[in-house]
Amino acid sequence: MRDRDRFQPDAPLLARARAALAGARQVAVLTGAGMSAESGIPTFRDALTGLWSRFDPQDLASVEGFSADPARVWDWYAERREGVRRAQPNAGHKALAAWARAHPGRMCVVTQNVDDLHQRAGQPDVVRLHGDILAEQWLDESTCRQRPRCDPAAADPGRPPRCMRCGALARPGVVWFGEALPEADLARAQRVANGCDLMLVVGTSGAVWPAAGLAGRARRAGAMVVIVNPEDSEIDAQAHVLLRGTAAQVLPRLLAPA
């Protein structure tokens, strides 16, 4: 059986979701790794292959792992960054962006992904809960005592880059194990969930918190929850409508003009 035939969302459920979407004043979208996987970006754990298969994830995505071997962690992220740069938005990214542009001010995407595919597809409003893999930040903000503070993007090249003025080490601008989500972004995501009429959850396992709690938050606030995923997720119980399929398969049909 071909992949495109394997997942065919139930037609009545698709029609129900389309009707709810058409009537929604505010739409929140939560996207996870499955959204980017269709563009060829492996999930974090799927990327632990080849040379990297012998490492514990904590060794490659924590302050402790970075401090133990900065060059190793920097090389790991350099490889992942190249994959992100090569990838292109898929039909799901494009369908979301087209709907948002056709309905200004009605959709906000909250993503767990650290790539820039939503932005490159033209999505106008994106909240990035887990950071930006293509950006850099200081490993320890307190290291820099310059005023104004040194810009991590201007650090001298290296593995990792280091600021020649203050000595600070740069690291990828992503949220690592043991770190809190950016406070302002999490607060915005929660406001979006509280205020939406419909929450569309796409390509997430529902295993990573606090992002996984946004669907339940939206439902408790009175929103319809629609989950798009080819497999079961840990938050399926929050869904009013489950559409089995991938983002690129389902979203163009769900979001197509009436």
Q: Which of 30-44, 51-65, 241-255 has the lowest mean pLDDT?
A: 51-65
Q: Provide the CATH topology of domain 42-84+133-174.
A: SIR2/SIRT2 'Small Domain' (3.30.1600)
Q: Which of 31-45, 79-93, 180-194, 230-244 has the lowest mean pLDDT?
A: 31-45
- Token pair, residue 210, equals 């606090």
* CATH classification number, 1-40+87-130+180-258, choose in 3.40.50.1220, 3.30.470.20, 3.40.50.300, 3.40.50.360: 3.40.50.1220
pLDDT, tens digit (0-9, with 9 covering 90-100), for 19-38: 999 999 999 999 999 999 99
240 is catalytic: no
Of 194, 197, 254, the C-alpha closest to 228 is: 254
Beta-strand relationship, 126-128 and 131-138:
unpaired
User: How many whole angstroms from its chain centre is CA 49?
Assistant: 21
Whether the predicted pLDDT of 211 surpasses 50? yes
Average pLDDT over residues 77-92: 96
Supply the DSSP symbol for 43: -
Look at residue 126 and give its three-state secondary structure.
strand
Write the DSSP string, 18-34: HHHHHH-SSEEEEE-HH
- Is residue 110 within 8 A of residue 214, CB to CB? The reply is yes
- How far apart CA 248 and CA 221 sit, in angstroms, is 29
- Token pair, residue 74, equals 């920097």
Of 176, 175, 158, the C-alpha closest to 167 is: 158
Average pLDDT, the chain: 91
Q: How many CB atoms lie within 10 A of CB 175?
A: 18
User: How many whole angstroms from its chain centre is CA 239?
Assistant: 20
With bands split at pLDDT 50, 70 and 90, how would you rate the model's confidence at 140?
Answer: confident
- How far apart CA 57 and CA 26 sit, in angstroms, is 37
User: What residues does CATH 3.40.50.1220 cover in the chain?
Assistant: 1-40+87-130+180-258
From the list 93, 103, 118, 130, the catalytic residue is 130
